[in-house]
């Protein structure tokens, strides 16, 4: 299933998310099972299936990481079910350092500033990855797409860091 086609987009990492939300509402209305209340059993079943597809498609395209994975999947790369180990030492060292910084927030003399700095660092780093990724995903060469796969893996680590940072913020907020 090509979700870009379903939502009338050309496959690209950069999409108009407002337009995506608008088309999602239109599609939802068009296939909503309530509209098929008086239809045949088969039509009802199809409406339920279509609704599920539209929902899956929307959540896949809304999230940048799953959107990128979907582009790769359309090109025959399955990242969703892989258990690849990342061995890029330089990248992992940086991850370790950031994880250590997250731990230090609780003992910091100015935790708010530390959180703000980390937000900034994470977002700068992730943006750089995303710029390269957007370019690579326009290609259909296997080499470029496998580079794109590496960048998606890195973005997953960044997403995890972001979750941990928000958790640290919550802890701080609860204590205040």
Partner 1 sequence: MAYSEKVLEHYENPRNVGSFDKNDPSVVTGMVGAPACGDVMKLQLKIDKDGMIEDAKFKTYGCGSAIASSSLVTEWVKGKTIEEAAAIKNTDIAEELALPPVKIHCSILAEDAIKAAIDDYKSKQTK
The residue to which tokens 């199809």 are assigned: 46
Task: Verify binding: residue 96, partner 1, rule CB under 8 A.
Answer: yes
The residue to which tokens 């205040």 are assigned: 176
**Which region, judged by CB under 8 A, interacts with partner 1, from 3-11, 84-92, 104-112, 121-129?**
84-92
Task: Verify binding: residue 160, partner 1, rule CB under 8 A.
Answer: yes
Give residues with Cβ within 8 angstroms of 138, minimum separation 6. Answer: 12, 13
* CA-wise closest residue to 46 among 36, 60, 59, 56: 36
- In whole angstroms, the minimum distance from the beta carbon of 19 to partner 1 comes to 29
> For partner 1, which residue of 14, 22, 78, 82 counts as binding (CB under 8 A)?
82
> For partner 1, which residue of 38, 40, 42, 83 counts as binding (CB under 8 A)?
83
Q: How many CA atoms lie within 13 A of 90 on its CB side?
A: 0
Nearer to partner 1, 75 or 95 (CB): 95
Nearer to partner 1, 119 or 156 (CB): 156
- The tokens for 156 are 């997953």
* CA-wise closest residue to 153 among 94, 52, 89, 68: 68
Contact residues for partner 1, defined by CB under 8 A: 82-87, 89, 91-93, 95-96, 99, 152-154, 156-157, 159-161
């Amino acid at each position: 299933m090509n979700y870009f086609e379903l939502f009338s987009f050309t496959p690209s990492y950069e999409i108009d998310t407002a337009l995506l939300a608008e088309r999602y509402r239109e599609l939802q209305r068009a296939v909503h099972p309530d509209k098929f209340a008086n239809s045949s059993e088969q039509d009802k079943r199809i409406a339920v299936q279509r609704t599920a597809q539209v929902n899956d498609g929307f959540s896949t395209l809304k999230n940048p990481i799953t959107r990128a994975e979907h582009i790769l999947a359309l090109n025959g790369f399955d990242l969703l079910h892989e258990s690849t180990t990342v061995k890029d030492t330089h990248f992992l060292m940086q991850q370790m350092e950031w994880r250590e910084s997250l731990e230090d927030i609780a003992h910091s003399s100015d935790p708010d500033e530390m959180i703000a700095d980390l937000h900034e660092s994470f977002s700068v780093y992730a943006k750089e990855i995303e710029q390269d990724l957007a370019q690579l995903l326009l290609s259909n060469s296997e080499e470029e797409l496998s580079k794109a796969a590496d960048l998606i893996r890195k973005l997953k680590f960044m997403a995890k860091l972001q979750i941990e940072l928000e958790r640290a913020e919550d802890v701080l907020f609860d204590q205040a």
